[in-house]
Structure 1
Amino acid sequence: MSNSIVTINPFTEKKLKEYTLMTHKEAKNAVVNSNRCFDEWKLIPISERAKLAKALAKVIEKNSDELVQLMVDEMGKVQSQGEQEVALCANICNYTADIAEKELANENRDYNGGKAIITYQPIGVILGIQPWNFPLYQVIRYSISNLVAGNTTVMKHASNVFGMAKKIQSLFEQAGFPKYAYQSLLIDGKTASKLISHDGIKGVTFTGSDAIGKKVAENAAKRSKKTVLELGSNDAYIVLDDADIPLAIETCIKGRIVNNGQTCVAAKRFIITEKNYDKFKDGFKKAMMQLKMGDPNAKDTDLGPMARKDLQEKLHEQVTESIAAGATVVCGCEMPDREGFFYPASILENVTPNMPAYDDELFGPVAALIKAKDNDDAMRIANDSRYGLGGGIFSKDEASATELAMKHFDTGMVNINGFASSQPNLPFGGVKSSGYGREHGGFGLKEFMNIKSVMVAQTK
């Protein structure tokens, strides 16, 4: 087995850089160093840790150009969306810093005539296993909340974004975090799996496929280690009878092709009532066919390449299987004969259960159109999924749509008449096979904490 990894530019298909993988022994030593750092880091006041988070926000902003170019070069992100990702990461750092002291403050409660203190205490080294699609955001999302909470982190990034992995560690160092508080480990999946059993690892957070995520959870559970899992989805966006169709089309296009269609909370299944189906389909097809596919560096590009050739091939295989099972092509769905790992903006209809386009996650710019009889049928179809990360509802009756979202939509997040993938002040996470645990909104600060009760008896 090779001990090196070569990163490839998905637009040019040219080699970017070669990286040497860490050995298992080197990775274990990194965990040992992280534990030693934790012993001191956990005693630093939250206010001081928050100041470093603010410093990290400034460092991220200062390095924006380089960070964006890494995203464009390593995984094909459209440049303007890379700029948005950088800005989001700075906002996450600032928001976490602003709320940390209040969220983690001790709470006093009565206790049999005495008093009790509920205190939030960090538990140690948290292993992060993160994907390539938001190569900066995915890492900042979990790491900054854990570091401000007093934990330390070691991170296994996807091998096709190892340049970003190294850059992120330098960002933490530039911001003034102590050595070993955050470490990017250039390791493969096998080594990361072995690290879960390391006594120094106290928790694991994973973002990726549900199949691999469940194995990670099983591995950690055998050792009574907590996990937070974000495992993707096939999010349903429902267009109800009274929907604003032009708004729905515009929003659904954005929700489907954001990040070249490679987003866990992207809109993927579009469920439209019979009343509006033909009108939505015609407008959606027209808008999808007008998107410009090309160089992710160019300002007028709507759709860049997929991140890797194997991902492009897997997507096309899912499309082909769906067509063989009875789905029909509205547009796209053919592998382009050109340089770069491109896949065109595509639409399938007549999508039914037991097709990849219905049951699974199509991680690329392919939309599945599903016709519903009425509003109730649309809600039924939306929930007919093993996943439950995000979703959307389009309706002019905001109150009714909100009621549906809160009480009937079986997901962790719901958009009404819009599309928003992540907000620093709102919890992020899913249910069912989309995982468990929450990040953002203050919730991530407490996921890997010992919520400890200290009971002080009344004495005479």
Structure 2
Amino acid sequence: MAFESVNPYSGRRLHRFVAFSWVKAERILGQARRAASGWAATPLPDRAAVLRRAAALLRERQDELARLLALEMGKPLRDGRAEAQKCAACCEYYADHGAAFLADEAVPTDAGRSYVRHAPLGVVLAVMPWNFPFWQAVRFAAPALIAGNVALLKPAPNVPQCALALERIWHDAGLPPAAFRTLFIEVDLVEKLIADHRVAAVTLTGSEAAGAAVAAAAGRALKKTVLELGGSDPFIVLADADLTLAARTAAQARMLNSGQSCIAAKRFIVERPVQAEFVRLLKGHLQALRYGDPLAETTDYGPLARPDLADKLSAQVADSVARGARVALAGGQPQPGATRFDPTILTNVRRGQRAYAEELFGPVALVLTARDAAHAVLLANDSDFGLGAAVWTRDAARGEAIGRQLECGAVFVNGLVKSMSELPFGGVKRSGYGRELGRAGILEFVNQQAVWVAPAARPGLARAE
């Protein structure tokens, strides 16, 4: 496997990196393991200072980082800058809250003193995808590093320069070089690393197949894992919703990152009385978006990251239409092998269609008809996935009550579903397990060690033998 930058808009190869041998990967692992004890012993305020410097560098270099995102995976410049800024905010969040999250927790027992302390595990291996190359790496790295762990990043093969740019930021921020390293390794070496006793835990964001492979390897090695996998998020629109706001947000939710997001809204479950109007509004918003070169400031959405991704999406749409789905907005690829994929709306989406059961990782909005709110909940939960969900209604209390019935890791009432530093992020069912972000994210990769200290002996109670 070669790690290769290819501009998805122009098709031009930019740079090629040779995959690491096991000898090189093992050497980097050894360096990381040796660095782990020193970083764990670094006072927490000093670790926090590194995160704050990393945040400053992310903001300072946001234009450079956005350009890399545009070149390697097709993200428009303004979205790339927003990703860099989000990463900076995440670093600052853990710098600000790490001490409180990691503080000893007193627990009353029969001891003189008992508490839970939070100790780092050591080397955390991260297998990360291409769609948010900075954000998905930072949201694992910031909590792991503030907790005293060290990190090894295995990036997706098509975003190697993004991975190296992030590595430079951590090093320039003052992190010991061996405490964050990029590994250009093939899949077989991932399994070999997981089996190595010096790797303490593994986190992966990616496909179901990749998650299953990593979980199996980690299971054999008895390693802790966190998996954030696919999603087919429901976006429920009840008859009393503010349709204007719901449709505008729906377009934004579906077109985020050209639709290439696990947590993007994908299934729009709309009560029958308002479905036609909702589709009309959604169609208008999607048609107004401008396709173009991701390096142009006027571009609203760019290409998909690779031709094979667009080809797969086309096949999913074609199969669904052949099985009864109707095209309300005809977009798609101009021809097979193209990375351009224009927004598409499918209605009459039902069981037996690929669109109903599979994740469509691109700008295709699926509209399902709900008879009422109870039926909407049934449709939302009739999925193998359970990452995020949105509920739209003018009655917020009703929306919250419906949200409690949904099988997913996050529910947003009258809002755009998103990952954010303050809240735990992750899914259920085939969307994975474990949590990133929030306090839960920092606790995934620490040893929650129970400490029990005997009561002090009381004078006069000692008895001579």
TM-score by length of 1: 0.97
Q: After the TM superposition, which residues 75-224 of structure 1 pair with which residues of structure 2 at under 5 Å, given as runs?
A: 75-224=73-222
Of stretches 415-424 and 204-213 in structure 1, the one that deviates more from structure 2 is 415-424
Helix, strand or coil for the counterpart of 2:409?
A: coil
Q: Which of residues 436, 440, 444 in structure 2 aligns to 1:443?
A: 440
Q: Which of residues 27, 43, 46 in structure 1 aligns to 2:44?
A: 46
Q: 1:97-143: per-residue Cα shift (whole Å, max 9, x none)?
A: 00000110112233314211210001110000000000110111101
The amino acid across from 1:72 in the alignment is A
- Offset at residue 363 of structure 1 (A): 0.5
| C-alpha contact 2:308 2:337 (8 A) present in aligned 1 | no
The amino acid across from 1:204 in the alignment is V
Distance 1:11 1:455, change over 3 A: same
Hey, which bits of structure 1, 4+ residues long, moved more than 6 A? none
| C-alpha contact 1:153 1:183 (8 A) present in aligned 2 | yes
Distance 1:456 1:317, change over 3 A: same
Question: What is the rounded CA distance, in whole Å, between the counterparts of 2:5 and 2:39 in structure 1?
Answer: 34
Q: After the TM superposition, which residues 154-303 of structure 1 pair with which residues of structure 2 at under 5 Å, given as runs?
A: 154-303=152-301
Question: What is the rounded CA distance, in whole Å, between the counterparts of 2:145 and 2:242 in structure 1?
Answer: 44
Distance 1:332 1:223, change over 3 A: same
Q: 1:214-254: per-residue Cα shift (whole Å, max 9, x none)?
A: 22111101111110010020000000121111111100000
Helix, strand or coil for the counterpart of 2:302?
A: coil
Question: What is the rounded CA distance, in whole Å, between the counterparts of 1:198 and 1:15 in structure 2?
Answer: 35
Helix, strand or coil for the counterpart of 2:14?
A: strand
Q: Report the counterpart of residue 417 of structure 1 in structure 2.
A: 414
Q: 1:166-218: per-residue Cα shift (whole Å, max 9, x none)?
A: 11111111000012000011112222222111111110000001122022111
Question: What is the rounded CA distance, in whole Å, between the counterparts of 2:80 and 2:104 in structure 1?
Answer: 38
Instruction: Using the aligned pairs only, state the percent identity.
Output: 38
Q: Report the counterpart of residue 456 of structure 2 in structure 1.
A: 459
| C-alpha contact 1:57 1:91 (8 A) present in aligned 2 | yes
Question: What is the rounded CA distance, in whole Å, between the counterparts of 1:5 and 1:233 in structure 2?
Answer: 26
- Offset at residue 454 of structure 1 (A): 1.2
| C-alpha contact 1:239 1:394 (8 A) present in aligned 2 | yes
Helix, strand or coil for the counterpart of 2:41?
A: coil
Q: Report the counterpart of residue 37 of structure 1 in structure 2.
A: 35
Helix, strand or coil for the counterpart of 2:273?
A: coil
Q: Which of residues 426, 429, 433 in structure 1 aligns to 2:430?
A: 433
Question: What is the rounded CA distance, in whole Å, between the counterparts of 1:400 and 1:217 in structure 2?
Answer: 38
- Offset at residue 337 of structure 1 (A): 4.5
Helix, strand or coil for the counterpart of 2:439?
A: coil
Q: 1:365-394: per-residue Cα shift (whole Å, max 9, x none)?
A: 001111111111011101111111001111
The amino acid across from 2:174 in the alignment is G
| C-alpha contact 2:386 2:431 (8 A) present in aligned 1 | yes
Distance 1:422 1:113, change over 3 A: closer
User: Unmatched 5+ residue regions in structure 1?
Assistant: none
| C-alpha contact 1:72 1:79 (8 A) present in aligned 2 | yes
| C-alpha contact 1:13 1:339 (8 A) present in aligned 2 | no
Of stretches 226-235 and 329-338 in structure 1, the one that deviates more from structure 2 is 329-338
Is 1:379 aligned with 2:380? no
The amino acid across from 2:356 in the alignment is Y
The amino acid across from 2:358 in the alignment is D
CA RMSD of aligned residues (A): 1.4
Q: Report the counterpart of residue 366 of structure 2 in structure 1.
A: 368
Question: What is the rounded CA distance, in whole Å, between the counterparts of 1:214 and 1:102 in structure 2?
Answer: 34
Q: Which of residues 386, 389, 395 in structure 2 aligns to 1:397?
A: 395
Q: Report the counterpart of residue 342 of structure 1 in structure 2.
A: 340
TM-score by length of 2: 0.96
Of stretches 427-436 and 69-78 in structure 1, the one that deviates more from structure 2 is 427-436
**Count of residues in Structure 1 that have an aligned counterpart in Structure 2:** 457
| C-alpha contact 2:271 2:372 (8 A) present in aligned 1 | yes
- Offset at residue 333 of structure 1 (A): 4.3
User: Unmatched 5+ residue regions in structure 2?
Assistant: 458-465
Question: What is the rounded CA distance, in whole Å, between the counterparts of 2:138 and 2:236 in structure 1?
Answer: 31
Q: 1:30-61: per-residue Cα shift (whole Å, max 9, x none)?
A: 11111000021111111111111011101111
The amino acid across from 2:454 in the alignment is A
- Offset at residue 340 of structure 1 (A): 5.6
Helix, strand or coil for the counterpart of 2:410?
A: coil
Q: 1:139-165: per-residue Cα shift (whole Å, max 9, x none)?
A: 111011101101111010001000011
- Offset at residue 334 of structure 1 (A): 3.7
Question: What is the rounded CA distance, in whole Å, between the counterparts of 1:104 and 1:295 in structure 2?
Answer: 44
Question: What is the rounded CA distance, in whole Å, between the counterparts of 1:316 and 1:449 in structure 2?
Answer: 43
Helix, strand or coil for the counterpart of 1:271?
A: strand
| C-alpha contact 1:217 1:227 (8 A) present in aligned 2 | yes
Question: What is the rounded CA distance, in whole Å, between the counterparts of 1:77 and 1:340 in structure 2?
Answer: 16
The amino acid across from 1:151 in the alignment is N
| C-alpha contact 2:3 2:159 (8 A) present in aligned 1 | no
Of stretches 352-361 and 32-41 in structure 1, the one that deviates more from structure 2 is 352-361
Q: Which has the larger radius of gyration?
A: 2
Helix, strand or coil for the counterpart of 1:268?
A: strand
Question: What is the rounded CA distance, in whole Å, between the counterparts of 2:284 and 2:225 in structure 1?
Answer: 43
Question: What is the rounded CA distance, in whole Å, between the counterparts of 1:456 and 1:418 in structure 2?
Answer: 48
Q: Report the counterpart of residue 12 of structure 1 in structure 2.
A: 10
Helix, strand or coil for the counterpart of 1:13?
A: coil
The amino acid across from 2:176 in the alignment is P
Q: Report the counterpart of residue 66 of structure 1 in structure 2.
A: 64
Helix, strand or coil for the counterpart of 2:269?
A: strand
| C-alpha contact 1:316 1:333 (8 A) present in aligned 2 | no
The amino acid across from 1:326 in the alignment is G
